[in-house]
Amino acid sequence: MLQERSRARAGNGSAQSWADIVVAAPPVQTAPRRILIVDSMTPDATRDSGSMRLTQIFALLHADGWTIDFFPDDGLATRDDAVRLAAMGVRISREALASWLPAHGPKLQAVMLCRLPVADQYLDITRRLAPHARVLFDTVDLHFVRERRAAALTGSRSLARQAARSRTRELHAIHRSDVTLVVSDDERAVLARELPDARVVLLSNVHDIHDRGMPFEQRKDLLFVGGFGHPPNADAVHWFASEILPRLRQHEPDIQLHVVGDIDDASRQALSRDGLVIHGRVPDLTPLLENVRLSVAPLRFGAGVKGKVNQAMSHGLPVVATGIAAEGMYLVHGENAMIADAPADFASAVLAAYTDADLWLKLSDAAMENVREHFSVEGARRSLQRALSGDHA
């Protein structure tokens, strides 16, 4: 399948059209170290949280002297993708992985397989053709936990069966890997119960702290960030639109929710109503982050750490989140975020932070401190170095 995808990818530009792309050399001189990274698709930090995190991982590896080869499992990458990643020291391969590994696998010091479907597909061939490589399984989030929660929310037996199958596959991949990366202490605790002997390292989202932007008085409206290709995001916006937004507009008739992220036409039409502004994907979130008054994360199921929450907080934008959205974030209601689950409670939390300037400023300051303490670049660098060196303490 990957060979077919790779041939399709070649249609995005001939091999000759990529020949002039220069991959940035590592800025530090070390003994040669080469890592292969495989993810489901080429990361684009404007699209989703996982892409933003992987882009930061690329930057950290490059800064530490690693030569980086990257394969998108969907076989799709454009010349613009290749240029963008080359500036970070990443070379996108246009071969099928099964063709590339026999020649290059013996030279690899490490391989990172991102997400369960990728690890499931490539762990065996990686072990066989890259015999000296340290194999990292980057879960991104624990798929079986997310699917269990979706099954519990919907009462779906088929989803429950899918979650059970994912659990078996995911735990098997963790067992076969040299080290597994998780994004939260909650998920590390899950694996401590499920596989006590697993070698697990916490490598969460990575964010810089930004200027706060406009003051409270010059801001208005709410923001939700998340592509509808991820089911928890689609469910969250539909739930907010039907159960929470009407309650808010009874008190703040002009309040609007700005929705950013990839969205299908059917969902766009279904959500068409007063108070909801559908932007789709935008090239730069900064103007919205610096001008809306609150970010909301009304997720009813999911797993992992939510990049939409981290990103807002890194800009000093207060967040109102459900307990699921706040998971693994070291958040305390009323201190560094507002946390509520029932529709009426969620609406009340939004109105409290939306109308109280003192509370807003307190949450804003504490949000930036939270990111600085728990989601810093330096902390991620230490975790990545531990994973690659074999130190899991």
pLDDT tens-digit map of 42-79: 988 777 777 888 999 999 999 999 999 999 999 889 99
pLDDT at position 247 over 80: yes
Number of domains in the chain: 2
Q: Bridge partners of 278?
A: 259
Out of 3-17, 175-189, 245-259, least confident range: 3-17
Q: Are 129 and 270 contained in the same domain?
A: no
Query: What is the reported pLDDT for 390?
Result: 67
Is the CB of residue 234 less than 8 Å from the CB of residue 267?
Answer: yes
Per-residue confidence band for 207, with pLDDT thresholds at 50, 70 and 90: confident
Q: Are 46 and 144 contained in the same domain?
A: yes
Q: Are 169 and 275 contained in the same domain?
A: no
Q: Are 188 and 46 contained in the same domain?
A: yes
Q: Are 110 and 178 contained in the same domain?
A: yes
For residue 331, what are its two tokens?
Answer: 């958040």
Q: Is 196 helix (H, G, I), strand (E, B) or coil?
A: coil
Query: What is the reported pLDDT for 6?
Result: 38
Q: Are 54 and 79 contained in the same domain?
A: yes
pLDDT at position 87 over 80: yes
What residue numbers bound the domain in which 155 lies? 2-206+376-389
Q: Are 59 and 138 contained in the same domain?
A: yes
In a domain, 195, yes or no: yes
pLDDT at position 361 over 80: yes
Q: Are 239 and 308 contained in the same domain?
A: yes
Q: Are 25 and 103 contained in the same domain?
A: yes
Query: What is the reported pLDDT for 112?
Result: 98
Taking only the tens place, the pLDDT of each residue in 333-352 is 999 999 999 999 999 999 99
Per-residue confidence band for 283, with pLDDT thresholds at 50, 70 and 90: confident
What region, left, alpha or beta, does residue 70 occupy, with left being phi > 0 and alpha being psi -120 to 50 degrees? beta
**CATH number of the domain that 364 lies in?**
3.40.50.2000
Q: Are 368 and 385 contained in the same domain?
A: no
Q: Are 95 and 241 contained in the same domain?
A: no
pLDDT at position 354 over 70: yes
pLDDT at position 1 over 60: no
Q: Are 192 and 230 contained in the same domain?
A: no
CA distances from 175 to 117, 129, 134 (A): 15, 19, 14
Q: What is the pTM of this model?
A: 0.76
